[in-house]
Amino acid sequence: MFILKNNESLDIARKLVQSTSLGESLDLLKEKNHSAGVEPGELLGQILGLSTVNLIRTMQVDFIAGEIVGEDRQDIIDDYVVESLRRQTLLALKDGAERMEKCQEILSVAEGLQVFWAEGTEEAKGPGPRYFCVKEVLSRLGDASNYDLRDAFFEFTYLQHKYFIDFFRALLKVAPAGGSQKIQEGEHGG
Protein backbone atom coordinates (compact mmCIF):
# COMPACT_ATOMS: atom_id res chain seq x y z
CA MET A 1 0.00 0.00 0.00
CA PHE A 2 1.32 3.41 -0.98
CA ILE A 3 0.73 5.88 1.88
CA LEU A 4 0.97 9.59 1.14
CA LYS A 5 2.82 11.83 3.56
CA ASN A 6 2.11 15.54 4.15
CA ASN A 7 1.95 17.52 0.89
CA GLU A 8 2.97 14.47 -1.14
CA SER A 9 -0.28 14.63 -3.12
CA LEU A 10 0.67 18.15 -4.22
CA ASP A 11 4.12 16.95 -5.28
CA ILE A 12 2.52 14.11 -7.27
CA ALA A 13 0.04 16.53 -8.85
CA ARG A 14 2.85 18.87 -9.91
CA LYS A 15 4.76 15.99 -11.46
CA LEU A 16 1.61 14.80 -13.27
CA VAL A 17 1.02 18.26 -14.76
CA GLN A 18 4.66 18.45 -15.80
CA SER A 19 4.89 14.89 -17.19
CA THR A 20 1.85 15.36 -19.41
CA SER A 21 3.02 18.73 -20.81
CA LEU A 22 -0.38 20.15 -19.91
CA GLY A 23 0.63 23.77 -20.58
CA GLU A 24 1.73 23.04 -24.14
CA SER A 25 -1.41 21.00 -24.73
CA LEU A 26 -3.63 23.85 -23.52
CA ASP A 27 -1.88 26.27 -25.87
CA LEU A 28 -2.30 23.89 -28.82
CA LEU A 29 -5.99 23.27 -28.08
CA LYS A 30 -6.61 27.01 -27.75
CA GLU A 31 -4.91 27.59 -31.10
CA LYS A 32 -7.02 24.90 -32.81
CA ASN A 33 -10.31 26.16 -31.34
CA HIS A 34 -12.05 28.24 -34.01
CA SER A 35 -15.37 28.70 -32.28
CA ALA A 36 -15.78 32.44 -31.85
CA GLY A 37 -18.46 32.12 -29.18
CA VAL A 38 -16.34 30.25 -26.65
CA GLU A 39 -14.72 32.38 -23.99
CA PRO A 40 -11.29 31.38 -22.63
CA GLY A 41 -12.84 30.45 -19.27
CA GLU A 42 -15.27 28.02 -20.88
CA LEU A 43 -12.54 26.51 -23.06
CA LEU A 44 -10.28 26.12 -20.03
CA GLY A 45 -13.05 24.56 -17.93
CA GLN A 46 -13.90 21.99 -20.60
CA ILE A 47 -10.29 21.06 -21.35
CA LEU A 48 -9.33 20.71 -17.70
CA GLY A 49 -12.60 18.86 -16.99
CA LEU A 50 -11.67 16.37 -19.71
CA SER A 51 -8.13 16.11 -18.32
CA THR A 52 -9.45 15.59 -14.80
CA VAL A 53 -11.91 12.85 -15.74
CA ASN A 54 -9.04 11.21 -17.60
CA LEU A 55 -6.96 11.24 -14.40
CA ILE A 56 -9.91 10.06 -12.27
CA ARG A 57 -10.56 7.10 -14.53
CA THR A 58 -6.87 6.29 -14.93
CA MET A 59 -6.49 6.19 -11.16
CA GLN A 60 -9.18 3.50 -11.06
CA VAL A 61 -6.90 1.07 -12.91
CA ASP A 62 -6.40 -1.94 -10.65
CA PHE A 63 -2.67 -1.47 -10.00
CA ILE A 64 -3.22 2.18 -8.95
CA ALA A 65 -6.49 1.75 -7.02
CA GLY A 66 -4.98 -1.22 -5.19
CA GLU A 67 -2.03 0.84 -3.97
CA ILE A 68 -3.42 4.35 -3.41
CA VAL A 69 -6.44 4.56 -1.13
CA GLY A 70 -9.53 6.54 -2.14
CA GLU A 71 -8.88 9.55 0.11
CA ASP A 72 -5.31 9.89 -1.18
CA ARG A 73 -6.52 9.52 -4.79
CA GLN A 74 -9.01 12.33 -4.19
CA ASP A 75 -6.28 14.53 -2.70
CA ILE A 76 -4.13 13.94 -5.79
CA ILE A 77 -7.06 14.79 -8.09
CA ASP A 78 -7.91 17.97 -6.16
CA ASP A 79 -4.27 19.07 -6.13
CA TYR A 80 -3.98 18.24 -9.84
CA VAL A 81 -6.86 20.59 -10.66
CA VAL A 82 -5.40 23.39 -8.52
CA GLU A 83 -1.91 22.92 -9.96
CA SER A 84 -3.28 22.80 -13.52
CA LEU A 85 -4.97 26.14 -12.90
CA ARG A 86 -1.81 27.63 -11.42
CA ARG A 87 0.28 26.67 -14.45
CA GLN A 88 -2.16 27.50 -17.24
CA THR A 89 -1.93 30.72 -19.27
CA LEU A 90 -5.32 30.71 -21.03
CA LEU A 91 -7.13 32.68 -18.35
CA ALA A 92 -5.87 35.14 -15.75
CA LEU A 93 -7.42 34.33 -12.38
CA LYS A 94 -7.53 37.26 -9.98
CA ASP A 95 -7.26 35.51 -6.65
CA GLY A 96 -7.61 32.28 -4.70
CA ALA A 97 -11.40 32.60 -4.50
CA GLU A 98 -11.68 32.80 -8.27
CA ARG A 99 -9.30 29.84 -8.61
CA MET A 100 -11.40 27.77 -6.19
CA GLU A 101 -14.58 28.65 -8.10
CA LYS A 102 -12.90 27.49 -11.31
CA CYS A 103 -11.76 24.30 -9.55
CA GLN A 104 -15.36 23.50 -8.63
CA GLU A 105 -16.45 24.13 -12.22
CA ILE A 106 -13.74 21.78 -13.53
CA LEU A 107 -14.63 19.04 -11.05
CA SER A 108 -18.28 19.41 -12.06
CA VAL A 109 -17.39 19.01 -15.76
CA ALA A 110 -15.31 15.93 -14.90
CA GLU A 111 -18.15 14.44 -12.86
CA GLY A 112 -20.56 14.96 -15.74
CA LEU A 113 -18.22 13.22 -18.17
CA GLN A 114 -18.03 10.11 -16.00
CA VAL A 115 -21.43 9.08 -17.34
CA PHE A 116 -19.61 7.63 -20.34
CA TRP A 117 -18.12 4.93 -18.12
CA ALA A 118 -21.52 3.83 -16.76
CA GLU A 119 -21.98 0.11 -17.22
CA GLY A 120 -24.75 -1.01 -19.49
CA THR A 121 -24.82 2.17 -21.57
CA GLU A 122 -24.21 2.12 -25.29
CA GLU A 123 -21.44 4.69 -24.79
CA ALA A 124 -19.41 2.17 -22.77
CA LYS A 125 -19.22 -0.02 -25.88
CA GLY A 126 -17.60 0.72 -29.21
CA PRO A 127 -14.66 3.13 -29.40
CA GLY A 128 -14.60 3.71 -25.65
CA PRO A 129 -15.55 6.27 -23.04
CA ARG A 130 -12.65 8.65 -23.74
CA TYR A 131 -13.84 8.95 -27.33
CA PHE A 132 -17.33 9.92 -26.19
CA CYS A 133 -15.94 12.37 -23.63
CA VAL A 134 -14.04 14.17 -26.39
CA LYS A 135 -17.14 14.23 -28.60
CA GLU A 136 -19.16 15.70 -25.70
CA VAL A 137 -16.58 18.41 -24.98
CA LEU A 138 -16.43 19.34 -28.67
CA SER A 139 -20.21 19.56 -28.72
CA ARG A 140 -20.22 21.83 -25.65
CA LEU A 141 -17.64 24.07 -27.31
CA GLY A 142 -19.76 24.26 -30.48
CA ASP A 143 -16.77 23.21 -32.56
CA ALA A 144 -17.68 19.60 -33.35
CA SER A 145 -16.98 20.00 -37.07
CA ASN A 146 -13.46 21.39 -36.47
CA TYR A 147 -11.43 18.31 -37.39
CA ASP A 148 -8.10 19.84 -36.36
CA LEU A 149 -9.45 20.48 -32.87
CA ARG A 150 -11.12 17.07 -32.74
CA ASP A 151 -7.86 15.32 -33.67
CA ALA A 152 -5.91 17.43 -31.16
CA PHE A 153 -8.40 16.53 -28.40
CA PHE A 154 -8.21 12.81 -29.21
CA GLU A 155 -4.42 12.89 -29.23
CA PHE A 156 -4.36 14.91 -25.99
CA THR A 157 -6.73 12.51 -24.24
CA TYR A 158 -5.12 9.25 -25.28
CA LEU A 159 -1.52 10.43 -24.82
CA GLN A 160 -2.37 11.93 -21.45
CA HIS A 161 -3.85 8.60 -20.33
CA LYS A 162 -0.65 6.85 -21.43
CA TYR A 163 1.49 9.41 -19.58
CA PHE A 164 -0.64 8.99 -16.44
CA ILE A 165 -0.22 5.20 -16.61
CA ASP A 166 3.54 5.51 -17.16
CA PHE A 167 3.82 7.99 -14.28
CA PHE A 168 2.00 5.74 -11.82
CA ARG A 169 3.91 2.66 -12.94
CA ALA A 170 7.15 4.49 -12.14
CA LEU A 171 5.80 5.95 -8.88
CA LEU A 172 4.51 2.62 -7.63
CA LYS A 173 7.39 0.67 -9.19
CA VAL A 174 5.03 -1.58 -11.15
CA ALA A 175 6.36 -3.37 -14.21
CA PRO A 176 4.23 -3.20 -17.35
CA ALA A 177 2.02 -6.24 -17.87
CA GLY A 178 3.64 -8.75 -20.21
CA GLY A 179 6.70 -6.53 -20.63
CA SER A 180 4.69 -4.18 -22.82
CA GLN A 181 3.71 -0.55 -22.22
CA LYS A 182 0.31 -1.22 -23.80
CA ILE A 183 -2.58 -1.17 -21.37
CA GLN A 184 -5.39 -3.54 -22.17
CA GLU A 185 -8.87 -1.97 -22.34
CA GLY A 186 -10.22 -4.54 -19.91
CA GLU A 187 -7.63 -3.54 -17.31
CA HIS A 188 -9.08 -0.07 -16.87
CA GLY A 189 -12.57 -0.13 -18.31
CA GLY A 190 -11.99 2.12 -21.30
Residue 181, classed as helix, strand or coil, is coil
pTM for the model: 0.85
pLDDT in tens, the chain (190 residues): 787 888 899 999 999 999 888 888 888 887 877 665 678 888 899 999 999 999 999 999 999 999 999 899 999 999 999 999 998 888 888 888 999 999 999 999 999 999 998 765 544 445 789 999 999 998 888 867 778 888 888 999 999 999 999 999 999 988 776 543 333 333 444 4
Among residues 120, 143, 122, 145, which one has the least CA distance to residue 132?
122
Type of residue at 57: R
